[in-house]
Homo-oligomer: A and B are copies of this chain.
Amino acid sequence: MRPENRALDQLRPISIETGVSRYAEGSCLIRFGHTHVLVTASVDENVPRWMKGKGKGWVTAEYGMLPRSTHTRNDREAARGKQGGRTVEIQRLIGRSLRAVIDLEALGERQIVIDCDVMQADGGTRTASITGAWVALSQACAGLVEQGLIAKNPVTAPMAAVSCGIVDGTCRLDLEYVEDAAAQADANFVLTQTGGIIEVQATAEDEPFTSEQMDELTRLARNGIAELCEMQEAALA
């Protein structure tokens, strides 16, 4: 009944290819089905001005979509002269999520900037971005340890993200675009490998949904994220 006969609790085909950037300190191309996001992690030895002298580091993220990553072309945000509300919301979410699993003091007074650029979009770009961002961030941190700049890797836990939703009355894992567009509710989960909650955002589209449905969405997410964390680990190995 789902496109390509996916089971309700089944992820799309996932791939995480690391080392895709010749210059970035960490990078991967992550694919959730036809959703493809290129993620880079850039180490900057300066922190933002408001953090100077606090002996702590910072992690922040930016997000963008190529104009023709979508079915019809969207305006380029650089040309329009501002980032849209959705972009701002997503990049704040990515940065916040990563900061929940990093020890900023152990990072030292430096900044890591994550760039998530959507090459192709078929639903779930923000959760794919977070999942890939954790990989690129981990790589960049590992590099700092290798170079002897910090003593231990400041990443404190494996973590990933996935979207779930209610479509045609059924709770489903990892919505693709056609499902997303038809969903009665849409929820994004950012969880640690062991189910610790980093961020949950659940939204009813047309009308409210029940807490039983919310529990089912949470269960789907927890299992999906456990799988994603294994793939992250494999990609980094």
- How many angstroms from the CA of A66 to the CA of B38 in the assembled complex? 10
Q: Within residues 76 to 96 of chain A, which ones have a CB less than 8 A from any CB in chain B?
A: 76-79, 81-83, 85-89, 91-92, 96
Per-residue CB contact flags for chain A residues 112-131 toward chain B (1 = under 8 Å, else 0) read 01010101101000000000
A119: nearest chain-B partner, CB-CB:
B38
Of the residues B66, B202, B209, contact of A115 by C-beta under 8 Å? B66
A198 adjacent to chain B (CB < 8 Å): yes
Contact indicator A218/B208 (Cβ below 8 Å):
no
- How many angstroms from the CA of A154 to the CA of B139 in the assembled complex? 48
- How many angstroms from the CA of A208 to the CA of B72 in the assembled complex? 33
Contact indicator A21/B68 (Cβ below 8 Å):
yes
Contact indicator B23/A207 (Cβ below 8 Å):
no
A147 adjacent to chain B (CB < 8 Å): no
Contact indicator A40/B23 (Cβ below 8 Å):
no
Of the residues B73, B156, B204, B208, contact of A42 by C-beta under 8 Å? B73
A233 adjacent to chain B (CB < 8 Å): no
A218: nearest chain-B partner, CB-CB:
B211
- Given A85-B92, A197-B209, A24 contacting B204 (CB threshold 8 A): no
- Given A82-B78, A120-B23, A199-B204, A67 contacting B73 (CB threshold 8 A): no
> Shortest distance in angstroms between A121's beta carbon and chain B's nearest beta carbon?
9
Of the residues B68, B73, B85, B195, contact of A89 by C-beta under 8 Å? B85
> Shortest distance in angstroms between A220's beta carbon and chain B's nearest beta carbon?
13
A64 adjacent to chain B (CB < 8 Å): yes
A64: nearest chain-B partner, CB-CB:
B78
- How many angstroms from the CA of A197 to the CA of B214 in the assembled complex? 8
Which 9 residue pairs spanning A and B have beta carbons closest together?
A196-B208, A77-B78, A40-B68, A42-B73, A78-B78, A85-B88, A200-B202, A24-B68, A100-B204
- Interface CB pairs A-B, < 8 A, 30: A21-B69, A21-B120, A22-B34, A23-B69, A23-B72, A23-B120, A38-B119, A40-B66, A44-B73, A62-B76, A64-B78, A67-B115, A76-B78, A78-B78, A78-B83, A81-B81, A85-B91, A86-B92, A88-B89, A100-B206, A191-B208, A195-B211, A196-B204, A197-B208, A197-B211, A197-B213, A198-B203, A199-B202, A200-B200, A211-B218
